[in-house]
Amino acid sequence: MYTDFQQHLEKELAAITEAGLYKNERIIVSPQGAEVTLDSGQTVLNFCANNYLGLSNNPQLVESAKAALDSHGYGMSSVRFICGTTDIHRELEKKIAEFFGTEDTILYAACFDANGGVFEPLLTKEDAIISDSLNHASIIDGVRLCKAARYRFKTADMEDLEQQLIKAQEQRFRLIVTDAVFSMDGHVAPLDKIVELANKYNAMVMIDECHSAGVVGETGRGVTELYDMLGQVEIITGTLGKAFGGAIGGFTTGKKEIIDILRQRSRPYLFSNSIPPLIAAAGIEMINMMNASNGLMDKLRSNIAHFNAGMQAAGFDMKPTQSAICAVMLYDAKLSQEFAARLLDEGIYVIGFYFPVVPREQARIRVQLSAAHEPEHLDKAIAAFTKVGKELGVIE
Ligand SMILES: *Cc1c(COP(=O)(O)O)cnc(C)c1O
């Protein structure tokens, strides 16, 4: 039996390789940070991690995780509702709710699980989900697991959203769902207008703050802070795996009845292990740090401004960004790969993206900035981009 299947897989793999889509993983042998060492021995500046606040190797978080290893042990060996909840799991849930101005929070092993487990327990075939066309894969999968009718609107296009809401008026309940920051472009969902339409057409709103929590809004509370709408959407999902420490873990925060139903019925919560206590403890410490000071946010913002100004001055075509994601537009797929490879030779680690990850003829290099970057790191990156850009005829 396996021989046939093996040949089938070999063909599939060959096709992936031929299409240039085979993903090779680069091995890092140092902690995650602004500067990382690869297994080749090369040290490079890292501009492709979601380490927005530079917390992935923050000494305070490492210390709090170590202390929790001593006080609460290594693992929980259980799901939450059997014997997998500690005092610090609950404390982190309350802290997250306080941070976003919501009523309660439920933790998951990852935001992929939070999004995968949010729709099916809440909505049935009588209801409607209206989803942005660029939403994250985990939202798409979560919607697939739910029997509600599905509507899709063009990304951040409010006229199209309105059309879909009109179509969905026959259903009992309506939920609009959108990423807060879109990961390939860096643009922010127009939450003010979305909520306005939701009110007009009697819909609820869910936003995924994975790329915006810790990044967007004066104090990093995400798009609800940016639009001065803290506590005004029904459901927020987010991750502890990006700005919020970078380890692992996800959450859904929002109206308390919603969170309560999820605790009763959300399958990735009911049937999957609790996050380790050390992650909960470091999560609490991370929120305390953010409440105590805006320093990391301020540094990230000044890095974003510095990098974008430098790249524009050098003549690069930058997508306007409202986040720590900067898309350097190259349009041509092959050029994006060649450009990224040459940048690595210059000690700059970035990734070039092309179809199907981004639309055809929209290939780009995505640069992700961090509070861990120093101004000299940014200047080195801009200089390398400029050198390679001239060599490849992208800029003059
Ligand atoms: C990264 C990401 C996720 C998944 O988060 P994990 O905690 O890594 O599973 C979900 N949604 C969006 C928009 C993301 O960017």
Write the pLDDT tens digit of every residue in 136-148: 999 999 999 999 9
Q: Among 111, 183, 223, name the best residue to mutate to test ligand 1's pocket (greatest count of ligand atoms within 8 A of Cβ).
A: 111
Protein residues whose CB sits closer than 6 Å to any atom of ligand 1: 110-112, 115, 136, 138, 179, 183, 208, 210-211, 239, 241, 250
Q: Does residue 380 have an active-site annotation?
A: no
Interval 94-133: pLDDT, tens: 999 999 999 999 999 999 999 999 999 999 999 999 999 9
Q: Detail the DSSP E strand segments found in 95-249.
A: 104-108, 128-132, 149-153, 174-179, 204-208, 235-239
Is 71 designated active site? Answer: no
Q: Which atom of ligand 1 is nearest to the CA of 249?
A: 7
Confidence of residue 20 (pLDDT cuts 50, 70, 90): confident
Q: Residue 216 Cα, ligand 1 centroid: separation in angstroms?
A: 16
Instruction: State which of 48, 56, 112, 323 you would mutate to test the pocket of ligand 1, scoring each by most atoms of that ligand within 8 A of its C-beta.
Output: 112
Q: How confident is the model at residue 245 (pLDDT cuts 50, 70, 90)?
A: very high
Class assignment of domain 20-49+294-391? Answer: alpha beta
Coil vs helix vs strand at 29: coil
Q: Can you tell me which atom of ligand 1 is nearest the CA of 181?
A: 13
> What is 59-292's CATH number?
3.40.640.10
Residues 6+ away with beta carbon under 8 Å from 262:
106, 117, 118, 121, 122, 252, 269
Question: Is residue 81 a contact partner of residue 270, using CB atoms and an 8 Å limit?
Answer: yes
**Antiparallel, parallel or unpaired: β 35-37 and 363-368:** unpaired
CA of 109 to the centre of ligand 1 (A): 11
Average pLDDT, the chain: 97
pLDDT of 21 reads 82
| Cα gap 276→48, rounded to integer Å | 26
Q: What pTM was computed for the model?
A: 0.96
Residue 270 has pLDDT above 90, yes or no: yes
Q: What is the mean pLDDT of residues 329-336?
A: 96
Average pLDDT over residues 295-303: 97
Separation between Cα atoms, residue 248 and residue 393, nearest integer Å = 41
pLDDT at 19 (0 to 100): 84
Closest ligand 1 atom, residue 136 Cα: 13
Of the residues 242, 299, 373, 377, only one is catalytic, namely: 242
Q: Is 302 a catalytic residue?
A: no
All structural domains of the chain with their residue ranges:
20-49+294-391, 59-292
User: If you measure from the C-alpha of residue 239 to the centroid of ligand 1, how many angstroms do you get, rounded to a whole number?
Assistant: 6
User: Ligand 1 centre from 383 Cα, in Å?
Assistant: 31
What is the pLDDT at residue 273? 97
Position 265 confidence tier, pLDDT thresholds 50, 70, 90: very high
Residue nearest to atom 1 of ligand 1 (CA): 210
The atom of ligand 1 lying closest to the CA of 180 is: 13
28 pLDDT more than 90:
yes
Give the angle 346-23-389 at the CA atoms, nearest 5°.
30
